[in-house]
Structures are given as C-alpha cells and as structure tokens.
C-alpha cells in the first residue's frame, strides 16, 4: 500500500522497488511473514491470510527532525487529539480509507494531519486501528508523544501530523469500484454446415485446440523459466551458502577458525553467567581458551542464511582492518547451524554501561580527561574507516553501546554488521532499507534512506553530546524538557549556558574544552550533510585546530 502523502510518481517507484527488492532482502529470506516499510509505501506478505483482518500490532514512530520544542504530552493535547479523531471518523467511513485536515495549534501556527487505513478494513476496524496507534504513541514516551511532527505506522493504518503542510494524494480519492463479474458466456449456436464443409470445420477446431494447448505450454514454460531465473538471481544475489562458508573458512584467512566444542567449553556451554550483553545481532559471552586467553564470543541469531550473511559482513571488514581504535577479530565458527564471531576481550565493556549508569562510583571512572581520550580515539577510528583503511567503510551504527573500552579506557569501535563498502569515487548510497539506531541516525538516512561518511559524522556528533552530558540522546524528551539532546544543546549554546548542559560530575576547570566539544558536536549534527565537517577536520579541531562558528540558525 502507498501512503496517501506520497506523490503518484513516488508511489509507483516505491511499489516497483519493493517488488524488485523483496526477493533479495537477506532479512526476509526464509521468512514466512514480513512487513517492510519504505518511505512512500509498505509491503506485506504472509503464509496466512491477513486480508480484511485487523491485527493489533505495536506500531513504530518516525520523528520529524525539527528544531522547535514541544511541551510534555504534545500528542495528548486536546487540539491534536481532536484533529486526529475527527480525521479517524472521516477516514473509516470513506471508501478510500484516508482523510486529511488541519487545525490551529498555537498563535500563527497550524497543525496538519493525515490518517489512513488499508482499504480492506471495515469502518469499525479502521477506527479501532487508528485509535490504538494514537494510544500506543502516547504511552511510548519519549519516542512520539512529545514530538511536533511524526509518522506512526504499522501494517493496518498510518498517522502523520506536522506543523507544515505536506502532500496528500488525490489520485486515489475516486477509485472506481471493482467491476462486476462478467456473465457466463452463452453457448454459441451450432452453425448449419453442409457435408462438404465438415472437413474444414474439423480442421479449424483442431487448429484452435492445438494453438490453445501450445499457448498454454508456452506460458507454463515461460513461467518456469522466469521462476528459475528468479531463483538463480536470488541465489547469486545473496550468495550460495556453501560458497560463502568456503570463503569464510579459507585456510589462508587472516583469522582463526574455532571448533564449536572449543567455544562451548570456553563459555561453559554459553552459560548465562558468562553472558556479557545482548547485541543487535545476538548475545555476547565471555570465553576462556585452554591457554588462559580471554575473548568475547558473539553468537549470531537468525536463520542459517541470515546468520551467515551477518558473520560474513563482519569478517570481510574486520579481517582487513587493523587499528588500535577498532575491535580486533580473533576468529569465527560455522558449525551445526551456529554462526559465531570471536573478538578480543575488553574488560571495561561498552561505553554506555559506564556513561549512563546510575552508580556514581562507576561513573567517577569517567572524568573529563578519560572522556576526552575516548572522544579522540573514536574520532581516529572513524577517520581510519573513512580515509586510511585499504577499503573505505561507512559504519552506519555508531553509538555508545558499540564503543568498547580496554583496560586503559582506550575506545574501540565494534559491531560492523551494518557496515558498507564505499568505492573510491562514491559520495553516497541510496537504499530503501533503513538500518541503524534512531537517535543516532542522520535525518537523510532516517527519512530518505541516503547515507554517506557524513552520516557517521552525524552519529559521532550525537555520541559526543552524550559523552559531554552523560545522558542518552533519547532521555531529554518529556517532563517539560526540550525535544531531544541536539535541540537542548543548541538552546544552551545560544544562551551561553553550556556549563548547565554538561554532566554535573565534570569539573568546571575543563569548561573551555567542554565548550569546544559542544561546538564540534553541533557542527557534526547539522541537518544538511554537506555542511558537516569530515572526520579529518573533526580530528584537527579536537587536537587544537581552528573551529568554525556554529550557524546562527538551526
């Protein structure tokens, strides 16, 4: 289904892309049920019927990146709810199952809205779906409830509200009703034929039958060929499993191939006591080899083919990367449907466990000097990925939980499951698959699927603000506070109150350096990618180079 705020061209392109991509998406292979959301449409398939059935799935929210500030429970305000519920009543009773409207929000401000259901839902289910999505969004603070603009979406309905007008399609407003079934063909009269013409009738009848049979066989053959080619294309696109295993387990590989029994013994059979944490692609355990060497053992989850792809993605990157600020790959294991990666063990764990802990004793380990060393190390690691490694790499998931700390608090970037190669002359990639972590994700990727080295720079800027404040990027909404960490930083920057923005645990003696870091962070999180510095310039600024002024407008 296309969303009603998509143009006709965007709708056409989105549906075409969805149809072409679904067969080659690694996340969908071998799955019997999937819902894939694109910017202008969504695709859903299942081995069980879902037509005309309302299912109460948890929706998700895409925030509109704006610099304005919202009060608490913005979505729960009477004017916004009144707008949404009036549209809900309209949409549920209309054949096209969508409605748009606007209302006055504040002086000189107008709130625009759109609600939409899939056209197979009856009026009652459409209304129920939209109302449940609003309720879920209000309960999911701070993700949606306090946002001045957002899109709330799921498999049955869609809600959008903004402080600016946006396109609402009209080309589906008067769709014709499905045509009535054709009446059964009447039996043609048998022609009166003289005996002399019986032979010709027989010939024409036989010819028609032969042509019909031949045509049917041709159609079946063509369909079989197309299906075979599609299967081959899928196989070639995702990579044959056996070929991938051979490549990963190649004897000349730059990493060790571990036996599964060895890893079971090293982790006490993947014991909960040895579990270090849960990553995006699976749990991580502490393992100890017979020689006493410790390592981190990541047990990839997912289907056989999917797990293999995730493993291959990390292996092909980390095996080629050597830098003190990147986690070191020790080896892997592919055995009995298990896909396991083994890394160097870093005793201080991930940055988020120390930075965001409520334990003051643990947080005291992160004084400003330690934090600044971490900032510089992450900057050097990103610069290496973008400019100095044998292959140019975009990480795509830089965040506090993917920064590991060794015994000396030296940071190491980890988790390359979403990373992508970049050609030497390539500036950006367009993809309809949005991957990463909201809050760290650059707006051009979250909204349009575009990413580049500047997307990593944006994530670095968010991470830099988290290190300065000791607060998660998502923790600043609600309770009357600003929209998010970025707008909060911008407010304090404009008001010359960075001292009130920083982590209270940090000594004021380092305030000048802290202000410099906030300046750099705000340059990194500018909405326009071309305005962001590259990591070469970021590192130069961190080590004492001149720092450009932050723009006067945001």
For residue range 177-206, list pLDDT tens digits in order: 434 444 444 444 434 333 333 333 333 333
Query: Which segments of the chain belong to CATH 1.10.510.10?
Result: 351-542
The pLDDT of residue 8: 80
| 62-94 exposure pattern, b = at least 16 Cβ within 10 A, e = fewer | bbbbbeebbeeebbbeeebeebbeebbeebbee
The pLDDT of residue 192: 38
* CATH number belonging to domain 351-542: 1.10.510.10
Instruction: Determine the 3-state secondary structure of 402 from DSSP.
Output: helix
pLDDT band at 102 (very low <50, low <70, confident <90, very high): confident
Tell which CATH architecture fits domain 8-162.
2-Layer Sandwich (3.30)
Question: Over 70: is that where the pLDDT of 544 sits?
Answer: yes
For the chain, how big is the Rg over CA atoms in Å?
29
Please indicate whether residue 176 or residue 417 has the higher confidence score (pLDDT).
417
Distances (CA, A) of 398 to 336, 358, 434, 470: 32, 23, 15, 17
For residue range 498-510, list pLDDT tens digits in order: 999 999 999 999 9
For residue range 116-173, list pLDDT tens digits in order: 999 889 998 898 898 888 877 766 544 565 567 788 888 889 999 888 888 776 543 3
Which one, of 529, 528, 553, 548, lies nearest residue 538 by Cα?
548
**Catalytic annotation, residues:** 397
Average pLDDT, the chain: 76
Distance between CA atoms of residues 398 and 415, nearest Å: 9
Query: Which segments of the chain belong to CATH 3.30.200.20?
Result: 257-341
Please indicate whether residue 393 or residue 71 has the higher confidence score (pLDDT).
393
Q: Which pairs from 540-546 meet CB under 8 Å and 24+ separation? A: 541/516, 542/375, 542/376, 542/379, 542/517, 543/376
Please indicate whether residue 346 or residue 432 has the higher confidence score (pLDDT).
346
* CATH number belonging to domain 257-341: 3.30.200.20
Distance between CA atoms of residues 522 and 384, nearest Å: 22
For the ranges 102-111, 243-252, 354-363, 387-396, the maximum mean pLDDT occurs at 354-363
């Amino acid at each position: 289904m296309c969303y009603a705020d998509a143009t006709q061209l965007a709708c056409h392109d989105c549906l075409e892309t969805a149809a072409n991509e679904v067969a080659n998406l690694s996340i969908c292979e071998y799955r019997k049920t999937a819902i894939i959301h694109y910017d202008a449409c969504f695709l859903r398939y299942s081995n069980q019927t879902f037509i005309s059935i309302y299912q109460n799935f948890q929706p998700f929210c895409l925030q509109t990146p704006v610099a304005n500030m919202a009060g608490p429970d913005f979505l729960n305000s009477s004017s916004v709810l009144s707008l949404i519920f009036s549209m809900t009543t309209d949409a549920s009773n209309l054949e096209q199952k969508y409605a748009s409207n606007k209302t006055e929000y504040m002086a000189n401000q107008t709130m625009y809205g759109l609600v939409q259901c899939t056209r197979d839902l009856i009026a009652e289910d459409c209304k129920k779906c939209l109302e449940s999505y609003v309720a879920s969004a209000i309960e999911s603070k701070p993700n949606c409830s306090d946002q001045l603009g957002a899109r709330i979406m799921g498999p049955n309905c869609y809600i959008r509200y903004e402080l600016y007008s946006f396109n609402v399609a009209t080309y589906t407003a008067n769709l014709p009703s499905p045509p009535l079934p054709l009446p059964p063909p009447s039996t043609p009269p048998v022609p009166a034929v003289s005996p002399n013409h019986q032979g010709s009738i027989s010939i024409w009848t036989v010819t028609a039958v032969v042509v019909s049979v031949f045509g049917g066989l041709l159609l079946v053959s063509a369909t079989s060929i197309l299906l075979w080619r599609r299967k081959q294309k899928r196989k070639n696109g995702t990579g044959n499993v056996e070929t991938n295993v051979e490549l990963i387990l190649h004897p000349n590989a730059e990493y060790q191939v571990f036996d599964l029994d060895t890893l079971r013994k090293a982790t006490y059979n993947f014991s909960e006591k040895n579990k270090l944490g849960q990553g995006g692609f699976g749990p991580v355990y502490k393992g100890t080899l017979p020689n006493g060497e410790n390592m981190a053992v990541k047990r990839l989850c997912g289907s056989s083919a999917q797990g293999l792809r995730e493993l291959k993605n990390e292996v092909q990157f980390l095996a080629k990367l050597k830098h003190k600020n990147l986690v070191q790959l020790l080896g892997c294991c592919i055995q009995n449907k298990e896909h396991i990666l083994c890394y160097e063990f870093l005793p201080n764990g991930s940055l988020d466990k120390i930075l965001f802990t409520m334990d003051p004793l643990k947080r005291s380990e992160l004084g400003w000097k330690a934090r600044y060393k971490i900032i510089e190390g992450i900057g050097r690691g990103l610069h290496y990925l973008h400019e100095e490694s044998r292959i140019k790499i975009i990480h795509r998931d830089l965040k506090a939980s993917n920064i590991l700390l060794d015994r000396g608090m030296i940071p190491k970037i980890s988790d390359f499951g979403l990373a992508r190669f970049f050609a030497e002359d390539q500036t950006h990639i367009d993809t309809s698959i949005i991957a990463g972590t909201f809050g760290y994700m650059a707006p051009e990727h979250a909204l349009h699927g575009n990413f580049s080295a500047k997307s990593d720079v944006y994530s670095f800027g968010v991470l830099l603000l988290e290190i300065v404040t000791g607060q998660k990027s998502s923790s600043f909404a609600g309770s009357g506070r600003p929209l998010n960490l970025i707008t909060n930083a911008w407010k304090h920057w404009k008001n010359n109150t960075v001292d009130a923005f920083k982590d209270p645990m940090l000594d004021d003696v380092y305030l000048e350096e802290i202000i410099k870091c906030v300046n750099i962070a705000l340059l990194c999180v500018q909405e326009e990618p071309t305005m962001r510095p590259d990591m070469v310039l970021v590192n130069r600024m961190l080590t004492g180079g001149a720092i450009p002024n932050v723009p006067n407008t945001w």
